[in-house]
C-alpha cells in the first residue's frame, strides 16, 4: 500500500508517556529500607527444575527469590491469600512501570482492586538496565510458556511448561481440581528472564539470562499473599523452552520477617466507586 503524502509528518509526532507516574503513590523509602533488614527467616521452599511450588507471605514480610546452582528463569504468580480473584496484573504493571521492573517498582493487582501487592526492595541484577538489543531483566511483557501455544506451533503435549507447573502447584495449594485451578493462573512476572522486542520486526525476543547463582530479587508483601513460582523448562531461556532440552536448575524462595513486618497495614483497594456511569 502506498504511503500518504504526509506520512513522514505523522511518524514524526512526538510520543507522550501513557501513564506519567508523578501522581502514582510511591513506596515509603524508610519502609523499603526496613523491608531489606531481614530479621528472621520464617520458611523456605526450593522449586525443583521444570516444576513449581507455592508459598505464603504475610503483609510486611519480605520474600526473596534466589538463583542457586545455575542460571534459571522463574515465572511468578501472586494472589491475595484471602481472595484468589485479586491477583497480579502484569499488563497494568507494565503500563505503569515499563517492560521490566526493578527496585522501587511495585506489582499491581487486577481490577477492580488495583493496589500494590508487593514492592521490589532489592535486585542484584538492577545494574543490567537495557542492553544494546533493548533487552532487560525481570519482564512483565511475556505471559508464561504454556502447552497450548506449544501445541499450536509445534504440536504435541508437553506437560512441564510454566502454565502447567503453576496449575499443579495451585491445585495442590488449594485442593481445587486441576480444571478449577487452571483459570486462576495468570500472566507472570518473568523473574531473571532477559527479554525485549526486536527493533526491526517488533517481535518478542529472549536471550540467555545474566543471572548467576547468588543473584536474588526481594519483595515486600503489601497484602497477605499466596505465591507460586515455576522454574521454567527454558532454564536461562537462552535457546528454547517448552521442552526438556535446556539445562534447568532449582530456584530458592525464602520468607523473612523484617523490620517492616510488625503491624504492617495493607494499602486500601482502589478508590473508584464502580458505578461505571450508571
Residue 92, judged by CB atoms within 10 A of its CB (0-12, 13-18, 19+), counts as middle
- CB nearer Zn ion, residue 96 or residue 232: 232
**For residue 163, how many C-alpha atoms fall within 13 Å in the half-sphere facing its CB?**
19
Strands annotated E in 124-176 = 136-139
CB of 245 to Zn ion, least distance (A): 13
The least distance separating Zn ion from the CB of residue 224, rounded to whole angstroms, comes to 26
Asked if 194 is part of the footprint of Zn ion (rule: CB under 5 A), the reply reads no
Measured distance CA(201)–CA(203) in Å, rounded: 5
State the burial class of residue 166 (Cβ atoms within 10 Å of its Cβ: 0-12, 13-18, 19+).
buried
136 alpha-carbon distance from chain centroid: 13
Task: Say whether residue 221 binds Zn ion (CB under 5 A).
Answer: no
Q: Which residue, among 272, 236, 271, has the nearest Cα to 251 in the 3D structure?
A: 236
Q: Which stretch binds Zn ion (CB under 5 A): 54-62, 113-121, 160-168, 246-254?
A: 160-168
- 52 counts as binding Zn ion under rule CB under 5 A: no
Of 35, 59, 118, 162, which one interacts with Zn ion (CB under 5 A)? 162
Locate 208 and state its grid cell: 540467555
* Residue of the chain from 145, 220, 225, 228 that contacts Zn ion (CB under 5 A): 145
**Smallest distance, Zn ion to C-beta of residue 237, A:** 8
Task: Please say which residue, 115 or 150, places its beta carbon nearer to Zn ion.
Answer: 150
Q: What is the footprint of Zn ion within residues 223-242 (CB under 5 A)?
A: 232
Q: How far is the CB of 193 from Zn ion (least distance, A)?
A: 8
Task: At 69, give phi and psi (nearest 5°).
Answer: 70, -40
| Interatomic CA distance for residues 167 and 114, integer angstroms | 24
Number of residues that bind Zn ion (CB under 5 A): 3
In DSSP terms, which residues pair with 54 in a beta bridge? 228
Q: How far is the CB of 74 from Zn ion (least distance, A)?
A: 9
Report in angstroms how near the CB of residue 246 gets to Zn ion at its nearest.
Answer: 10
Q: How far, in Å, CA of 20 to CA of 29, rounded?
A: 20
Q: Which stretch binds Zn ion (CB under 5 A): 64-72, 105-113, 155-163, 270-278?
A: 155-163
Q: Which is nearer to Zn ion, 162 or 229 (CB)?
A: 162
191 binding Zn ion? (CB under 5 A): no
The site for Zn ion (CB under 5 A) is made up of 145, 162, 232
Amino acid at each position: 500500500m502506498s504511503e500518504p503524502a504526509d506520512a513522514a509528518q505523522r511518524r514524526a509526532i512526538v510520543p507522550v508517556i501513557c501513564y506519567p507516574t508523578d501522581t502514582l503513590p510511591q513506596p515509603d523509602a524508610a519502609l523499603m529500607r526496613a523491608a531489606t533488614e531481614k530479621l528472621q527467616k520464617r520458611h523456605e521452599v526450593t522449586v525443583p527444575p521444570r516444576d513449581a511450588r507455592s508459598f505464603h507471605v504475610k503483609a510486611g514480610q519480605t520474600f526473596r527469590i534466589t538463583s542457586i546452582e545455575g542460571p534459571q528463569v522463574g515465572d511468578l504468580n501472586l494472589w491475595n491469600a484471602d481472595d484468589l480473584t485479586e491477583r497480579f496484573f502484569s499488563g497494568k504493571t507494565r503500563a505503569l512501570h515499563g517492560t521490566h521492573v526493578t527496585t522501587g517498582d511495585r506489582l499491581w493487582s487486577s481490577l477492580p482492586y488495583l493496589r500494590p501487592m508487593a514492592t521490589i526492595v532489592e535486585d542484584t541484577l538492577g545494574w543490567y538496565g537495557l542492553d544494546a538489543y533493548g533487552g532487560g531483566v525481570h519482564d512483565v511483557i511475556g505471559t508464561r510458556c504454556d502447552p497450548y501455544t506449544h501445541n499450536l506451533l509445534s504440536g504435541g503435549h508437553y506437560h512441564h511448561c510454566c502454565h502447567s507447573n503453576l496449575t499443579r502447584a495451585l491445585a495442590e495449594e488449594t485442593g481445587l481440581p486441576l480444571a478449577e485451578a487452571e483459570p486462576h493462573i495468570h500472566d507472570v512476572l518473568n523473574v531473571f528472564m532477559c527479554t525485549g522486542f526486536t527493533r526491526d520486526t517488533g517481535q518478542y525476543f529472549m536471550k540467555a539470562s545474566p543471572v548467576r547463582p547468588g543473584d536474588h530479587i526481594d519483595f515486600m508483601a503489601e497484602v497477605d499473599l499466596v505465591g507460586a513460582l515455576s522454574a521454567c523448562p527454558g532454564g536461562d531461556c537462552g535457546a528454547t523452552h517448552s521442552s526438556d532440552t535446556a539445562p534447568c536448575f532449582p530456584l530458592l524462595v525464602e520468607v523473612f520477617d523484617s523490620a517492616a513486618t510488625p503491624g504492617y497495614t495493607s494499602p486500601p483497594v482502589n478508590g473508584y466507586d464502580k458505578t461505571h456511569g450508571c
